[in-house]
Amino acid sequence: MIRRFGVLLAIASIIGMAACGGGNGGSNNPPSAITNVAVSCSPGTVGSDGNAQCVATVTGTGNFNSGVTWSTSAGSITSSGTLTAPTVNGSSSSGGGGNSNVEQLTVDAGPEPQTFISTNVAYTTVTVCVPGSTTQCQTIDHIMVDTGSTGLRLLSGVLNGTTATVTATSVQDATQSGTAAVTVTLLPVSSFSECLVFLDGYIWGPVAAADVTFPNATAETASNIPVQLILPASGLPTVPSSCSSQNPSGGNGNEGGMSDSDAVATFGANGILGVGLFQQDCGPGCTSQNSAPPQVYYSCDASGCNPAFASLSQQLPNPVSAFATDNNGIQIQLPAVPNGGSPTVSGFLVFGIGTQSNNGLGSAHVYPVPDSGSNAGDMLTTFNGQQYQAFVDSGSNGLFFLDSSVSGVPATCTGNLTSWYCPSPSPANLMASNQGQDTSGPVGTPVPANFSIESAQTLFNGSNTAFSTLGGPLSNTFDWGLSFFYGRSMFTAIENMSTPGGTGPYFAF
């Protein structure tokens, strides 16, 4: 190793002398040599035909020449290191322009590659296009439908794309070069990145822009809206520690996986469609009305990513809010699932509440929820005479409530299933009641809700993926997850939007 270094030194000093016309001849200067070329490009993820600025750091000894020549494996690059990414091809789409407000839902074992079996996740399909384009589009299946969040987020590795490997070669010593990889993705990428913290993990990645349509719900288009790319841990920009430390699992909680190869299995979907109660994912809490930006949106440049204010229009919107019609909420319709579960079920994601002949509230009861404060988005559930904060969340895959220390609640499973309930005898038939609330207290009358919990040990024994009786422990809160949706019409009304059942936000079922 040392010998090789010595050889390089000698060669470099000869070239250096030639280049400098004999150098300065000072006997106390070490010989000129290049020891390393390092390259970095910002942003590390760009859209089709997008730009990144690359810089080379050349280290050496003596009076060396720090000049480099640039080349790239894809796209083009200028002599000053400005990369223009190649065009990423998509398919053509005629999305929007129809008259249906209904999209398909399926609960099944999940997307390929199936190294796992999905449990109680409702998937739909979306089409994203480069804003304004009808040819650079991609239709992506197995997008999780989540009433507990807001915004469309897609795994970066699922989107069409390529990698441009940028190389800087020393002018002085052509054997010395450095490379950097730039991820090129279909959708145009902004300088904002977002840290979105879920209960059990976080996602990190740049904010991109897309026209969003649906293969069957042809009446609906969300034009040029911010969407997020979910990066694996290996993606760029690197996740800031201030993002991962908001998550109890820390760096292990990255739901984008370690690399593109395990991203789908880690996330359990190709993306997530947040169609919850709110118009934006963060809302006023991320705007400059606060003294300091929270660690949600980050402004990223070559020196790194720092928390930044994001105006409401810069934040990820509820795609439904961005529709021209049927934009006040959604309804999830899934068929009843018998005890023991079903292999798969199919249902509907219906856009709009009371805006068409097919999306009225019918006999559903409206449960208003506060739009702000510490109980934002929560209704109330009473169990055994005790009242708890509660919410309806299609992105939770069971009924999560209380724990075995509370009388009448099933025992938690043993072994590797301690996060689930295993009642004996099974099923345990339980009753609670639900009620709306505002910031000053309960609203409306309590409505009974019967539910059953079966032993997870038994439920998981086959290959069923849809369970109406799956539950697990959680103190102090009731989380009415997807198990509760089967056999009901479940409505989520968006904040500040008018509906026949009143102004959102509310749940109705």
Q: Which residues bind another protein (CB under 8 A)?
A: 115-117, 119-121, 148-150, 196-197, 199-200, 242, 245-250, 252-253, 268, 274, 276-278, 281-283, 285, 290-291, 294-296, 373-378, 389, 391, 393, 395-398, 400, 403, 405, 415-420, 456, 460-461, 463, 472-477, 479, 481
CB closer to another protein out of 75 and 423: 423
3-state secondary structure 226-251: EEEEECCCCCCCCCCHHHHCCCCCHH
Sequence-distant (≥ 6) Cβ neighbours of residue 8 within 8 angstroms: 33, 34, 35, 173, 175
How many DSSP H helices and E strands does the chain contain?
Answer: 4, 32
> Which of these, 256, 274, 232, 242, lies nearest to 395 by C-alpha position?
274
CB closer to another protein out of 7 and 292: 292
DSSP label at residue 51 = E
Question: What are residue 293's phi and psi, to 5 degrees?
Answer: -70, 135
The beta strand positions in 186-292, using DSSP E, are 189-197, 202-213, 221-230, 271-275
Tokens of 449: 């809700």
> Which of these, 335, 364, 358, lies nearest to 217 by C-alpha position?
358
Q: Give the nearest distance from C-beta 478 to another protein in angstroms.
A: 9
Tokens of 469: 């009786």
| Separation of alpha carbons 403 and 40, rounded Å | 50
CB closer to another protein out of 236 and 380: 380
CB closer to another protein out of 93 and 321: 321
Q: What angle do CA 54, 56, 60 make, to 5 degrees?
A: 180
At residue 341, what is the residue type? G
Q: Give the nearest distance from C-beta 431 to another protein in angstroms.
A: 20
Q: Give the nearest distance from C-beta 373 to another protein in angstroms.
A: 7
Q: Give the nearest distance from C-beta 250 to another protein in angstroms.
A: 5
> Which of these, 60, 277, 36, lies nearest to 179 by C-alpha position?
36
Q: Give the nearest distance from C-beta 242 to another protein in angstroms.
A: 7
Element (H, E) at 47: strand 45-47
Tokens of 390: 């509660």
| Separation of alpha carbons 496 and 482, rounded Å | 25
CB closer to another protein out of 86 and 293: 293
479 with 390: CB under 8 angstroms?
yes
Q: Give the nearest distance from C-beta 21 to another protein in angstroms.
A: 57
Q: Give the nearest distance from C-beta 136 to another protein in angstroms.
A: 30
Q: Give the nearest distance from C-beta 285 to another protein in angstroms.
A: 5
Q: Give the nearest distance from C-beta 470 to another protein in angstroms.
A: 9
Q: Give the nearest distance from C-beta 398 to another protein in angstroms.
A: 7
60 with 8: CB under 8 angstroms?
no
> Which of these, 264, 295, 74, 103, lies nearest to 165 by C-alpha position?
74
3-state secondary structure 435-466: EEEECCEEEEEEEEEEEEECCHHHHCCCCCCE
DSSP label at residue 16 = H
CB closer to another protein out of 9 and 402: 402
CB closer to another protein out of 156 and 396: 396
Q: Give the nearest distance from C-beta 190 to another protein in angstroms.
A: 21
CB closer to another protein out of 285 and 340: 285
Q: How would you classify the pairing of strands 506-508 and 366-368?
A: antiparallel
CB closer to another protein out of 40 and 372: 372
Q: Give the nearest distance from C-beta 415 to another protein in angstroms.
A: 6
Question: What are residue 34's phi and psi, to 5 degrees?
Answer: -95, 130
